[in-house]
Amino acid sequence: MNALDAPPMIETADADARAPGGASPRTWTDALVFELDRRVAGLIASMRDGVSNPALKHLVVTDAEVDHLLSARDADDDRLFAGSLLASLLEYPEARAKLDRLCRAFALDAFELEVLLACLAPDIDRRFDRLFAYVNDDLTKPRPTIDTLLRLLASSREHLPLQRRLLSDSALLRLGLLICDDRKAPRTGMFRVADGVARFLLDYDGVDERIARLRADRDAPALARKLWRSRASTDDVVATLADIFAGQDARSASGDDAGTLVVLRGRAGSGRAHALDLASQRAGIGRIDLDARKFKAHAGEVGELIVAALRDARLHDLAVAIHHADALIGEAEAQDESCAAIRAWLRAYGGCIVLCAEDSLPCPLWFPTAVSTELELPPLAIGEREAAWSLALAEAMGWSGEAALPIARALASKFRLTEAEIAIAVGQARAPLAAVDDDEERARILHDVVGRSATPRLHRLTDAVATRHAIKDLVLPEDRMALIDDIVRRVQHRRTVMEDWSFDDLSPRGKGLIALFHGASGTGKTMAADAVAHSLRMRLFRIDLAGVVSKYIGETEKNLRTIFDEADRMDSVLFFDEADALFGKRSDVKDAHDRYANIEINYLLQRVENFSGIAVLATNKRDHIDEAFLRRIHISVEFPMPQAPERLRLWRRSFPKNAPLSAQIDWDFLARRFEFSGGTIRNAALSAAFLAAESGGEIGMRELVQAVRIEIVKSGRRMPAGEFGRYAEHFERSAGARSASVSGIAT
């Protein structure tokens, strides 16, 4: 006999679950088991009727079986479906409360509840695994199929319409309350209750265990949490979030919830999760925290996992926060799958979803029909940074406020860090700080630690330039030098003017400074950026366009975001050489790449406007820069080709004091006769030095004339020997030496 023909004996209930004399079951789950026992027993008895030889059941269909199938249908229905499955459970207050919560949360009807309860049976009593396998006539199917559910819960005349409902529009499958093992063929698949729903019904702790794959890690240092608690500027954000959470709770209780989408912006380490914790506590509501950075690793199932999280959140009156949501930008597959799941949920069942990100999100693009609210945790003001550094140093090092304040003030002025970054930096510097007593050495240690750790990703996309020039080293017309001095002055005194005197209240834009250096190659734009950074004691980062600009749609924007985010953490100068390549004029949209190129320019406009640091844009082609960028420039400096007086100074300054210069150099002749840029003059000076080193003599007019000739040839121009006047013999000698050298190589 087939193993399926010998099901375990069906007992009406455990011996100790029902009082003597057939009294009511003790718990609602006992009542559910009792009722399903009765129905499964009736169904199996119906299946056995008309089978004359059970041993042949799986081999042939007998005449007796056919006669039974044709004649017993209506009678079986009347016998099997006497009484409602729900009716026997609603007399239990606990069951009524749970089923009422399910109905309100997901708008389920009585039949859907009965389906859910029937699928729950194997989670209560493992006997049902064997029983359902027998009913399904398949030992590999120990859970109910749609056919089994319909035969247990509905009369045969209702099967077809109920089957259509379950497979097409039922909330049970759409919202993940039931899981089918064969999504491609649910008509023949098995169904089980989702883990989170089973836990809710059976009073197990927690939510669906699968959600842990996407759960956000909470590992902030204790010192960071203390610094977050000390910050007063988050109060308004916390109050607004708490009101939203409390409103969701009230709407959910009334069954009237259209859904709320909140974007909480703030830099990494600014305490977004802490603000959510405070708001949740104030509103008396729990929360499920997911990490969008994990979505890509679970592509193909991330939509299902998000639905599970949203489902369990609604079931338990929890909010859902998706942290690092900007990680989805540019990740097409994870973005499409997760956003589609969220869109469908918001459209159908609402709830409160918080998207935490460092920057604004394209919510109108991702969720075009959703109503969203955007909140921001603003960067710490310099006074708040001072307080955070002082508290951190006092907590970690035991320093008094008087001892910590000078160092805290210097660090707050130079580095725009969040509370978490301050806590991490103090932790890293703790050991070396404990070994010294000198305030200057302490300040140096902290500056070194923060400088190394504050911008780890910036070095991947930029070149850190060692600054060595002072403002006095620049050779520019007086009016241009005044503009360079103005840049330094604005930065040195911006705290007094912008914060102490409240001028930042009059400006909606960022507190940074944007300068444009434009002029021909070699006129000193790079050197001026170097001198500005050196004078301000700031680090200079040159943007590597090859590493920033990507052919892949969305990648350039992501790289730019990284650069500005990292540069915003400390006082530094961002130097965009050949800026017209990035800040060029927007074009007419002809294809997708044009559209995304314009999006990148629009993004740049926004970030430049809100940038807190110093950005220097250098270009040879000012007329190629987009007008919208030019309107945001604070100081524009034109670098002209040097005139004879400036060229004279450039020639003299191009040789260090240890260079062996001849006393017979005709500086005036070099400055007057050759209209070179500063860069070309420096190149010629270096070439002359190598020529002198080769000959073992001094750097004189012979070497300089030959070096000048090299620069002229490099530029593609020709200059007759007569242009060198009385030094033409050096020109002719260099040409003859070059011919002899080439002839020698040829032979």
Reduced 3-state DSSP string for 334-348: HHHHHHHHHHHHHHH
**Rounded Cα gap, residues 506 and 420, in angstroms:** 30
Does this model's pTM top 0.95? My answer is no
Q: Which two tokens stand for residue 374?
A: 């955007």
**Rounded Cα gap, residues 40 and 186, in angstroms:** 22
**Rounded Cα gap, residues 138 and 125, in angstroms:** 19
Question: Do the Cβ atoms of 302 and 176 come closer than 8 Å?
Answer: no
**Rounded Cα gap, residues 311 and 198, in angstroms:** 12
Q: Mean pLDDT, to the nearest integer, of 285-299?
A: 90
Give the distance, in angstroms, between the CA of residue 507 and the centroid of all CA atoms in the same chain. Answer: 29
Cα–Cα nearest to 407, from 437, 377, 374, 378: 437
Q: Which two tokens stand for residue 224?
A: 């960071």
Largest CA distance in the chain: 131
The answer, yes or no, to whether residue 454 has pLDDT greater than 80, is no
Question: What tens digit of pLDDT does each residue of 614-659 get?
Answer: 999 999 999 989 888 888 899 999 999 999 999 999 999 999 999 9
The answer, yes or no, to whether residue 76 has pLDDT greater than 60, is no
Q: Which of 174-178, 226-230, 456-460, 479-483 has the lowest mean pLDDT?
A: 456-460
The answer, yes or no, to whether residue 53 has pLDDT greater than 90, is no
DSSP per-residue letters across 568-589: TTBSEEEEETTGGGTSBPP---
**Rounded Cα gap, residues 279 and 284, in angstroms:** 8
Question: Do the Cβ atoms of 200 and 373 come closer than 8 Å?
Answer: no
The CA-CA-CA angle for residues 395, 401, 404, to 5°, reads 80
Q: Which of 272-276, 492-496, 737-741 has the lowest mean pLDDT?
A: 737-741
Cα–Cα nearest to 676, from 704, 698, 656: 704
Give the distance, in angstroms, between the CA of residue 559 and the centroid of all CA atoms in the same chain. Answer: 12
**Rounded Cα gap, residues 534 and 216, in angstroms:** 42
Residue 400 — very low, low, confident or very high, per pLDDT cuts 50/70/90? confident
Instruction: Give me the pLDDT at residue 75, please.
Output: 46
Question: Do the Cβ atoms of 426 and 455 come closer than 8 Å?
Answer: no
